[in-house]
Homo-oligomer: A and B are copies of this chain.
Amino acid sequence: MPYKPGLHIISEFTSTEQHLLASSQHFRQLLDTTITAHNLQKVGEVYHDFDGGGFTAVVCLTESHISIHTWPEFELATFDVFLSNYQHENDHKARAIYSAVIEFYGGAELQKNEIKR
């Protein structure tokens, strides 16, 4: 059987927590805590806060990546978590991280796809 990298969850959600969408600070704390809790390994990250509100963040892991883009003016965010299964089966961790982010934002899903890559 050919190697299958893993599960990618890809979502858009709305949130009325505009301060959590406006700046990356609190999301960064959440994500760092969550990454540590799941024994995942960061290899690099980008956090970029836009003038006027909203941010982009990508965290690269040995197990692929997590990304978010926010539009506080539309109470909207896109979120991705893609964890490869190279050394461990990580689908449950991808789902747990996704749930933690939705809960953090009190998010209402507009669209969610799970792609087995």
Give chain A's interface residues, CB within 8 Å of chain B: 2-3, 5, 8, 10, 12, 43-48, 50, 56, 58, 60, 62, 64-65, 67, 69, 71, 74, 76, 78, 80, 82, 84, 86, 110-111, 113, 115, 117
Q: How far is the CB of A42 from chain B (nearest CB, A)?
A: 10
CB neighbours of A2 from chain B (8 A): 74, 76, 110
Kindly provide the distance from the CB of A28 to the nearest chain B CB, expressed in whole angstroms.
14
Q: Which residues of B contact A8 (CB under 8 A)?
A: 10
> How many copies of this protein are present in the complex?
2
What residues of chain B lie closer than 8 Å to A64, measured between beta carbons?
Answer: 56, 69, 78
Are B78's CB and A56's CB within 8 A? no
The reply to whether B58 and A67 form a contact with Cβ atoms under 8 Å apart is yes
Give the Cβ gap from A63 to chain B, nearest Cβ, in Å. 9
How many angstroms from the CA of A12 to the CA of B43 in the assembled complex?
Answer: 22
Chain B residues with CB below 8 A from A48, complex form: 43-44, 60
